[in-house]
């Protein structure tokens, strides 16, 4: 059984790597390969479930290997298989198999045919890693892969304005959810004093013992789980991103935002249920969020003119009900609800283009009288108010803009004085002074030394905000994002001295990818008249290879799991004490905003309508 599980987890990654090597002109080979690999995986899961049933449905935990181990932490890959994994793997493999079959014809002659199929395989790899994960660290690797593939598939039509813009919006919401995962991992390390596995989390006495004296800490972890789940599953107030994600091809909308990816927030809550189930306030919060989302999603879906948006909000409302069911303790019922909703929404999205064409005549020529329901008993004032609020999607976009994005931009704009000269003449010398203080301490009072980690991490965060708000000089933004990592190292080093190996482990990925990205920007600047971040420039049209290399550099600098920086971030958080919540928050927010800034930088330079006018351009209204 264990060997079969390992093969099933590795299989999608192997398929993704091989798909990169296939010739992009041969559509039959590309789609046939993806169809075959996913099909084999689906039927293998059926065999696994039969064998698992014969063994008595016992849960299986596999600790594979340690990626990094020290006195402070042990970052190891762990896999876990139980009834929750069984349901999600069966539904996921079957729906991915159906969608790849559908896409073979649907995307015929599309310029990004190969790109679509290898992105789907990468998504399926991340999905498999999430549902088979045995601890938070392994889950977070797959979580990050899902965020990247979401961006790539929404921006599939990369020469158009709206798909790229909406892809950035969805990626930004996903990254806000990542704050929850990062802080939950940090707090969990201090609560358990180890890398806790989901298998050990099933031990009621163990969880109860640790929560007895740390109820506030436990509540903080539960709220962070809820934040991550709400962002991933489009729960209130993050619901408005889901219809924007429908800018991608219909098959990706079906598999991502109708069935699989959008239900992974629910999976996170199911997986961590033994922890938050013992906290009444956490259950009330989860249930309340679910009920509010169900009501808001249902009302918005009723007034949508687009069939995709109707399906999106219907799915959001159903997931809200699943959150509520879970808060009441109906875990098995929520799993059945997930499976039914996933199959229904996938079917609805796949047939939606045909359904619209079939029903267009009836919409124009057949009158349907208004049915009597609860709405007919509302006063006209209430009915019109609800209608207007639903049309405006309950102002969720405006709420997020006012509460999150505009404050970030205002902070960044206050730092406009930071330019290339100031980076080299002020920021770097200030950093060296900080290093001198760290090494010698200058007999500083203890209360000042205790404040220095927060101060230095706050300086790094301000540099990230400046890069986030920057629009003119791309080299300033890139340099500031690199500098942030050095300020982070300096801030954490005051707690207990980081070893040279730990610093090297963290900075290896930063220096490598930062240098590669800087070289790509220099090459592009020489080829083109100039590049900035004021608009989408679409340089992937002429420079696709530079676009791929720069994307890899951005992912590495953002701490995506392709370099040692990803593990390095966890190493740094292991050095943050449990009472330094501001330090942990500044670091987590800095990593998240840095990732948004880097992906936006890539999108502004290489995606969107091509800035040159010697060929046809997809206008903004397209």
pLDDT digits (tens, 9 = 90+) for 302-350: 888 778 888 888 899 999 999 999 999 899 999 999 999 999 988 888 8
pLDDT at position 370, please? 66
Confidence class of residue 69 from pLDDT cuts 50, 70 and 90? Answer: confident
Look up residue 430 and give its two tokens: 């200030």
Confidence class of residue 365 from pLDDT cuts 50, 70 and 90? Answer: low
Sign of CA dihedral 253, 255, 261, 266: positive
Largest separation between any pair of C-alpha atoms in the chain: 85
**Does residue 244 carry a pLDDT above 80?**
yes
Cα–Cα separations (whole angstroms), residue 531 to 424, 474, 606? 21, 7, 10
Sign of CA dihedral 73, 75, 79, 85: positive
The stretches of 254-393 forming alpha helices (DSSP H) are 264-271, 273-276, 280-302, 307-327, 331-365, 380-391
427 or 552, greater pLDDT:
552
Beta strands 60-69 and 74-81 are: antiparallel
Burial (CB count <10 Å: 0-12, 13-18, 19+), residue 434: buried
Query: Across all residues in the chain, what is the average pLDDT?
Result: 86
Look up residue 112 and give its two tokens: 């990004």
CA neighbours within 13 Å on the CB side: how many for 115?
Answer: 17
Q: What is the DSSP string of 212-249?
A: HS-HHHHHHHHHHHHHHHHHHTT-TTSTTHHHHGGGS-
pLDDT at position 622, please? 45
**CA 139 – CA 85 distance, rounded (Å):** 12
Confidence class of residue 268 from pLDDT cuts 50, 70 and 90? Answer: very high
Phi, psi of 316 (to 5 degrees): -60, -45
Element (H, E) at 42: helix 27-54
How far does CA 225 lie from the centroid of its chain? 13
**Does residue 133 carry a pLDDT above 80?**
yes
Range in 209-218, 331-340, 368-377, 563-572 the model is least confident about = 368-377
- Residue 156: strand, helix, or coil: coil
440 or 151, greater pLDDT:
151
Look up residue 323 and give its two tokens: 């959150």
Which of 495, 496, 463, 488 is CA-nearest to residue 580? 495
pLDDT at position 310, please? 86
**CA 90 – CA 102 distance, rounded (Å):** 19
- Report DSSP state, residue 133: B
**CA 251 – CA 100 distance, rounded (Å):** 8
**Does residue 380 carry a pLDDT above 60?**
yes
Cα–Cα separations (whole angstroms), residue 48 to 37, 86, 512, 536? 16, 9, 41, 47
Element (H, E) at 368: none
pLDDT digits (tens, 9 = 90+) for 501-536: 888 888 888 999 999 999 999 999 988 877 888 888
**Does residue 104 carry a pLDDT above 90?**
no
**CA 610 – CA 613 distance, rounded (Å):** 7
Maximum average pLDDT range among 200-209, 278-287, 383-392: 278-287
Counting DSSP H helices and E strands in the chain, the numbers are 26, 2
**CA 460 – CA 490 distance, rounded (Å):** 10
**CA 106 – CA 318 distance, rounded (Å):** 28
pLDDT at position 73, please? 74
154 or 305, greater pLDDT:
154
Range in 174-188, 408-422, 590-604 the model is least confident about = 408-422
How far does CA 170 lie from the centroid of its chain? 9
pLDDT at position 288, please? 94
How far does CA 208 lie from the centroid of its chain? 31
Which of 116, 117, 104, 123 is CA-nearest to residue 260? 123
pLDDT digits (tens, 9 = 90+) for 159-216: 888 889 999 999 999 998 888 999 999 888 888 877 888 888 888 888 888 788 778 8
Sign of CA dihedral 266, 185, 183, 412: negative
Which of 266, 245, 246, 252 is CA-nearest to residue 96? 252
**CA 298 – CA 295 distance, rounded (Å):** 5
**Does residue 130 carry a pLDDT above 80?**
yes
Asked if 103 contacts 248 with a C-beta cutoff of 8 angstroms, the reply is no
pLDDT at position 548, please? 93
């Amino acid at each position: 059984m264990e060997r079969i599980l390992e093969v099933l987890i590795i299989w999608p990654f192997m398929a993704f790597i091989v798909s990169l090597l296939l010739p992009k002109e041969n559509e039959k080979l590309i789609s046939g390969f993806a169809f075959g690999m996913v099909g084999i995986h689906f039927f293998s899961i059926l065999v696994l479930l039969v064998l698992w049933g014969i063994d008595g449905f016992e849960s299986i935990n596999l600790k594979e290997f340690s990626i990094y181990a020290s006195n402070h932490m042990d970052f190891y890959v762990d896999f876990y298989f139980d009834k929750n994994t069984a349901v999600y793997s069966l539904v996921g493999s079957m729906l991915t198999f159906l969608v790849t079959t559908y896409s073979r014809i649907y995307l015929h002659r599309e310029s990004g045919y190969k790109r679509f199929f290898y992105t789907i395989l990468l998504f399926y790899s991340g999905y498999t890693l999430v549902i088979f994960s045995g601890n938070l660290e392994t889950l977070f690797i797959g979580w990050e892969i899902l965020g990247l593939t979401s961006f790539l598939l929404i921006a599939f039509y990369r020469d158009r304005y709206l798909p790229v813009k909406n892809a950035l919006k969805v990626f930004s919401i996903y990254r806000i959810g990542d704050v929850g995962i990062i802080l939950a991992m940090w707090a969990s390390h201090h609560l358990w004093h180890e890398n806790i596995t989901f298998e050990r989390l099933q031990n009621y006495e163990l969880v109860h013992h640790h929560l007895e004296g740390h109820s506030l800490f436990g509540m903080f972890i539960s709220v962070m789980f809820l934040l991550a789940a709400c962002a991933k599953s489009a729960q209130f107030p993050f619901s408005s991103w889901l219809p924007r994600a429908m800018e991608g091809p219909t098959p990706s909308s079906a598999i991502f935002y109708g069935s699989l990816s959008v239900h992974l927030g629910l999976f996170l809550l199911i997986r961590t249920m033994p922890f938050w189930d013992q906290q009444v306030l956490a259950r009330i919060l989860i249930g309340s969020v679910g009920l509010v989302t169900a009501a808001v999603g249902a009302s918005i879906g009723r007034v949508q003119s687009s069939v995709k948006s109707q399906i999106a909000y219907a799915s959001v409302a159903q997931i809200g009900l699943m959150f509520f069911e879970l808060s009441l303790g109906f875990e098995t019922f929520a799993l059945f609800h997930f499976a039914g909703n996933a199959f229904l929404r996938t079917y609805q999205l796949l047939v939606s283009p045909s359904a619209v064409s079939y029903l267009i005549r009836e919409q124009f020529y057949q009158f349907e009288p208004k049915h009597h329901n609860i709405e007919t008993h509302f006063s006209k004032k209430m009915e019109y108010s609800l209608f207007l609020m639903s049309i405006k999607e309950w102002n969720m976009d405006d709420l997020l803009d006012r509460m999150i994005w505009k404050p970030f931009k205002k902070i960044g704009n206050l730092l406009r004085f930071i330019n290339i000269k100031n980076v080299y003449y002020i920021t770097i010398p200030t950093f060296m002074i900080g290093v001198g203080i760290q090494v010698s301490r200058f007999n500083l009072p203890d209360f000042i030394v205790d404040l220095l980690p927060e101060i230095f991490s706050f300086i790094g965060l301000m540099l990230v905000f400046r890069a986030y708000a920057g629009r003119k000089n791309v080299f300033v933004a890139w340099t500031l994002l690199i500098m942030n990592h050095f300020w982070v190292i300096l801030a954490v080093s005051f707690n207990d001295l980081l070893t040279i190996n730990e610093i090297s482990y963290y900075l290896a990925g930063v220096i490598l990818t930062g240098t590669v990205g800087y070289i790509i920007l220099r090459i592009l600047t020489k080829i083109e008249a100039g590049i900035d971040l004021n608009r989408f420039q679409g340089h992937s049209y002429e420079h696709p290879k530079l676009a791929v290399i720069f994307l890899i550099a951005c992912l590495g600098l953002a701490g995506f799991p392709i370099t040692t920086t990803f593990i390095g971030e966890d190493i740094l958080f292991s050095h943050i004490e449990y009472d330094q919540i501001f330090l942990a928050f500044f670091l987590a927010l800095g990593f998240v905003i840095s990732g948004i800034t880097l992906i936006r930088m890539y999108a502004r330079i290489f995606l969107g309508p091509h800035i040159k006018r010697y060929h046809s351009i997809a206008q903004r209204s397209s």
